[in-house]
Structure 1
């Protein structure tokens, strides 16, 4: 029997291991040691979870539950998450190494999504169509899709799961959750609260393990109507292709190479803080990371020096300590990837202004740390400026004017987020119009809300999460025609 904490999947309301009996270790990125284990599932486990969700959708009490009752369950779950927020945040820190301050803030904010979509559940309305056909009553209904598979990443497990789970449930769907194999524990801990909240069995199910072992069964299963995925664009493209074979709905929130643009009229104190927040918060492990800092040439040297000076004071350390500002990279393979990109940048001729390797502080022990790293004089054609690093690595790129800033900002396969720093509101509105990204922040960065839609342009994804737009991603429209006439017109002619 292992001494590690053990978390179980939940299928049809019952805790369970995998049918193979295998377990998968979760490693604490700060210590480099396993702290917990979750079931390592296979195709049979994935199929069982889908079958449970399908039964709950078609035959269980969920299928006949009123929208108002569904909303009450969501709000009850919100209150339970708020009650256990610190416990859930600590699980996430052990799993992914992000700061306790960051994860606590995220988990404390998560209930807002369940309250919001819980309130929206019974406000989903169809409409009556003013028909041009005589003696016909024509109306629409909004209905759930069916079984939704939610595939979530390792960087913000509970928050990014919630962005999918809350609207999917509010719309009346049932769900199978596939968390990242690196950070499954908080999703499984959440299932205890799902049970306590009173959700019927089978409405929410979990499958843990490697994507290659369970992913195809989940995505290709004919009883799955939609896949909601957050992660890398290569995996997203593979899921999209698999889903297309079976004509499934998808929401894809993928990668980014977001420009954070500083004009010479900006409040430079704020802009520097925004640059730091954009890339070094969460150790750069966010899809919205402002990894390209575009700075107007007239203030390029000043801003570069100030960003380097600020970043050089960042405190690396135990993510459980409130004084720590930069934690480790979540996975060992990701750490190697980040270090590989740093080497590529040096080879391409980018000027390393700060960091560029692993910290030498023995107090950091076996943690998977990478130094906050800044490259100056980066050209937008360099790989470091074009490919998603997903780590604490910033590229500073100079520009002359608005036109060049827009050209550089949009010269990417991605379009998830962006930032603009200026005191000129005319410029702010013009830049917001011209930047091809799903989110434009002006004089701020990394702001998200349950009220505001989030998603990407281009290879950054399909669909929107959060806000009223999100629930539409989990609904389909049925059009109903009722003939009120006594007779039937000519059956050989379209009505």
Structure 2
């Protein structure tokens, strides 16, 4: 991987293309918007802005490709080979894509290259390898009958993804949909469209037929709404805020009752019990979890629930870790935390934390002379469970520390939120690990770790954190229909 000077040089040479990618070719569109880099506040690129016309073109291309094209009719092993070829191309362009992500949304380049791109490459490879491993069913019936249960692609999939993990979250939706034989229209966030547009071109280069994978750039109220309301979209898969998820449910009700799969917000608790096997590691992981990706993660462990007997020790360790973090230029490989995605988002976070509780560190803008949208890593303690900072998703590097005296109290605090995406638990007792994990209303529970796992396990939320699952073979449920064929012999 290049050093700091190398990345700076590559950034000067980068010329990201901002056209939509529809039916295998670039489409300039009728309007445009600018992408501003949160690194320095400068315009990074001008990008085509999709309105209803462009969305209609993309959906029509996907519809033709599904109804009349070869993709759903290809042998699954052939679809898999093309997805594997796409994974290879993403790996070949790994540095370019990592640089694009770092510039468009502020992710530290080391994280973009080593974590984000690794996830995208592995996802396309995993589903490419899975494509021909799916099996249909033939239930046992009476001897004069034959029953078949077949899994068939659902049709045209609209995928709307956010800016915080532009390629990871896109790949979690696009790869299984394509493996199932669906065609896709992807709408990335207007803050991070450039990496997704490049992905669309790489898919065409890999050999995916025209119309199978289309990418349109635009905002949610226009392009996202048009996709959600479109009668030729059979499934809508969305990752983003709970408020916007509600809009997509309305769009489905007002159009063709398309299925809507939602991965929404989170306010994840991270519970540390006194018998945690390694308190230093627990504290270090708590700090890493909330400050990784600038805290711009739905699963970020933004609520640290710590037993009163160890609260001071753990909180002090987290504060020390926060103050030791290298906040800086995301193109510097030594940077551990970059800027927030935009000036607007920085202002929103600052407004939400003003006077929230006892501030222990951070809470203010930093590196203002760079022109970037940087916030110092922030820790509050003595947080009231009923306060907004303990209940609302902030989506920034802001940690709220709450204390408890009993395990039952910890469970009650953890579940006292409308969200249910993820949770962490630190204990050396096996029975406690099982009992508390079962009691937590969350789609994922990490025990003595955080943010671990691979593509073999599903990911998604409970309560207002959404429905359905990304990752694993279970994700195919979102993009397939079960058909029963009963044959009288």
Normalising by structure 2, we get a TM-score of 0.94
What residue is the counterpart of 1:461 in the other structure?
Answer: 466
Equivalent residue for 1:228?
Answer: 237
Aligned pair count reads: 473
Matches within 5 A, 1:134-145: 135-145=144-154
Distance (Å, rounded) in 1 between the aligned partners of 2:224 and 2:193: 15
Q: Secondary structure at the match of 1:288?
A: coil
Look up the match of 1:15. 26
Distance 1:85 1:446 in 2: 23
Q: CA deviation at 1:241?
A: 2.0
Residue 367 in 1 paired to residue 372 in 2?
yes
| 1:172 equivalent in alignment to 2:172 | no
The equivalent residue for 2:443 is 438
Contact residue 197 and residue 216 of structure 2 kept, 8 A: no
Task: Verify the 8 A CA contact 1:81 1:111 in the aligned structure 2.
Answer: yes
TM-superposed deviation, 1:64: 2.3
Equivalent in the alignment of 1:415: 420
Please name the residue that 1:195 is paired with.
Answer: 204
* 1:355 to 2:365 alignment: no
Say if 2:55 is the partner of 1:46: yes
Question: Structure 1 runs of 4+ off > 4 angstroms?
Answer: none
- Aligned-pair distance for 1:5? 4.3
Shift of 1:139: 1.1
Q: Kindly name which structure, 1 or 2, has the bigger radius of gyration based on alpha carbons.
A: 1
CA shift, 1:304, in A, is 1.1
Deviation at 1:67, TM superposition (A): 1.0
* Per-residue Cα deviation, 1:196-227 (whole angstroms, up to 9, x for no partner): 21000000001111111122221121111000
Contact 1:277 1:446 in 2 (8 A): no
CA distance in 2 between partners of 1:88 and 1:481 (Å): 49
Q: Tell me the alpha carbon deviations over residues 236-262 of structure 1, each in whole angstroms, 9 at most, x when there is no partner.
A: 111122113422112110000000111
Q: Which residue of 1 aligns with 2:299?
A: 288
| CA offsets 1:97-129 (integer angstroms, 9 cap, x no match) | 011111112102322111111121112222112
| Alpha-carbon spacing, 1:6–1:192, altered in 2? closer, same or farther (3 Å) | closer
Q: What's the counterpart of residue 158 of structure 2?
A: 149
Deviations 1:230-283 (A, max 9, x none): 000000111122113422112110000000111112211111111111111111
Whether the 8 Å contact between 2:16 and 2:194 is mirrored in structure 1 is no
Distance 1:305 1:46, change over 3 A: same
Match of 1:111 among 102, 121, 129: 121
Q: Which of 362, 377, 390 is the aligned partner of 2:395?
A: 390
User: 2:266 maps to what in 1?
Assistant: 256
SS at match of 2:324: coil
> Are 1:380 and 1:386, in contact at CA under 8 Å, matched by a contact in 2?
yes
Partner of 1:489: none
What aligned pairs does 1:92-107 form with structure 2 within 5 A after superposition?
92-105=101-114, 106-107=116-117
Question: What do the CA deviations read for 1:133-173 (whole angstroms, capped 9, x no partner)?
Answer: x6332211110000000100000000000000110000000
Please, which runs of 5 or more residues in structure 2 have no aligned partner?
Answer: 1-13
Which residues of 2 match residues 30-109 of structure 1 at below 5 A?
A: 30-105=39-114, 106-109=116-119
Is the contact between residue 218 and residue 224 of structure 2 (CA under 8 Å) also seen in structure 1? Answer: no
Structure 1 residue aligned with 2:257: 247
Q: Which runs of 5+ in 1 are unaligned?
A: 485-495
3-state SS of the aligned residue for 1:101?
helix
- Please point out which of 477, 481, 488 is paired with 1:483: 488
Contact 1:315 1:325 in 2 (8 A): yes
Moved more, 385-394 or 443-452: 443-452
Contact 2:24 2:201 in 1 (8 A): no
What's the TM-score once normalised by structure 1's chain length? 0.93
Residue 87 of structure 1 aligns to a residue whose secondary structure is helix
Q: What secondary structure does 2:372 align onto?
A: coil
